[in-house]
């Protein structure tokens, strides 16, 4: 199958204003961010004065990396994207608590769950490396029971706050602070099963007890283990990727055994955001997903 490009467009609360020179200029609500992006390997289109007017600028120098934020900008503020509400705030490593390019995957997840729910069947979803909960809340809003796993206590607290903000606190979501791979191994021993699995593995990281994760060493084994958690009536597996150097075809190849066993279709491709200044697409990541 030829790769597809899923594009996030400008919305009321989010906009990629311009990009280039290894940076991007974005609007989250009413706040304008300027931060590095190595994929923006072209020239900026807007005057530099527009860039210099950003409310929050992430500066990276030889000995430090930090945000410079204009007086009057709130510590955090809310916005809506893809039918989900999020708290936004500048964090270390240039993040904001939201990856807007994931909107297409959230919509797809809701759609496949809603279709299965029409048959009266329960849908149990495992979300690994769940971060601030976008995929979890999309699945829960469609009627799934969700287990959200992340190794960061701060991220899980943030995700729970987003659930409350989105009026989804009463949904059947289990919030698990744990190493993703360790949790999967324990779920296998416990005989747990899921109809859907979502994962967003980083290039490297650490669990709450110092467990080490390296994608080149652990990814294939994690996917193999996750296949043991699929129920007898599996629905979907979604893999997102941000680690540099990998292709969506590599992720697709890991899903082929699932499709061979259960039928269904695999899609793969890039995640991108359309820049409002010129219509250019800023590549943001890759994905591969299987659906029954």
Give SS3 for 182.
helix
Backbone angles phi, psi at 35, to 5 degrees: -150, 160
Task: Give the pLDDT confidence score for residue 185 in this predicted structure.
Answer: 97
β-pairing, 4-8 vs 265-274, is: parallel
Is residue 287 within 8 Å of 22, Cβ to Cβ? no
Kindly list the averaged pLDDT for each block of 10 residues, start to end, along the chain of length 292. Answer: 92 98 97 96 98 95 86 96 97 92 98 96 97 98 98 96 98 97 97 98 83 88 97 98 89 97 97 97 97 96
Radius of gyration of the chain (CA): 19
Contact 207, 151 (CB under 8 A): yes
Whole-angstrom CA distances from 288 to 22, 27, 292 are 26, 28, 14
Q: How far apart are CA 268 and CA 291, in angstroms?
A: 12
Backbone dihedral angles phi then psi of residue 150, each to the nearest 5 degrees: -150, 150
Give yes or no for a contact between 273 and 8, defined as CB atoms under 8 angstroms apart: yes
Collapsed DSSP state (helix, strand, coil) of residue 204:
strand
Q: In terms of pTM, does the model score above 0.85?
A: yes
pLDDT (0 to 100) of residue 172: 98
């Amino acid at each position: 199958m030829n790769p597809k490009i899923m594009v996030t467009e400008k919305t009321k609360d989010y906009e990629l204003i311009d990009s280039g020179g290894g940076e991007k200029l974005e609007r989250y609500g009413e706040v304008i961010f300027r931060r590095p992006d190595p994929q923006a390997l072209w020239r900026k289109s807007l005057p530099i004065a527009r860039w210099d007017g950003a409310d929050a600028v992430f500066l990276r120098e030889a000995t430090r990396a930090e945000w410079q934020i204009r007086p009057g900008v709130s510590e955090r503020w809310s916005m809506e994207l893809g039918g989900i509400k999020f708290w936004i705030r500048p964090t270390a490593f240039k993040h904001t608590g939201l990856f807007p390019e994931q909107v297409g995957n959230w919509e797809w997840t809701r759609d496949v769950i809603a279709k299965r729910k029409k048959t009266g069947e329960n849908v149990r979803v495992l979300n690994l490396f769940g971060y601030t909960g976008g995929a979890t809340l999309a699945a829960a809003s469609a009627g799934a029971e969700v287990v959200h796993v992340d190794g960061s206590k701060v991220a899980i607290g943030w995700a729970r706050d987003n659930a409350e903000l989105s009026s989804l606190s009463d949904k059947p979501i289990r919030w698990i602070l744990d190493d993703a791979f360790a949790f999967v191994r324990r779920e296998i021993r416990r005989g747990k099963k899921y109809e859907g699995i979502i994962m967003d593995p980083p290039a490297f990281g650490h669990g709450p007890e110092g467990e080490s994760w390296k994608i080149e060493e652990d990814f294939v084994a994690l996917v193999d283990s996750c296949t043991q958690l699929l129920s007898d009536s599996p629905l979907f597996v979604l893999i997102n990727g941000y680690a540099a150097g990998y292709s969506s075809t590599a992720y697709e190849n890991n899903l082929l055994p699932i499709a061979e066993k259960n039928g269904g279709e695999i899609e793969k491709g890039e995640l991108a955001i359309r820049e409002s200044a010129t219509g250019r697409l800023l590549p943001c990541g890759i994905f591969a997903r299987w659906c029954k």
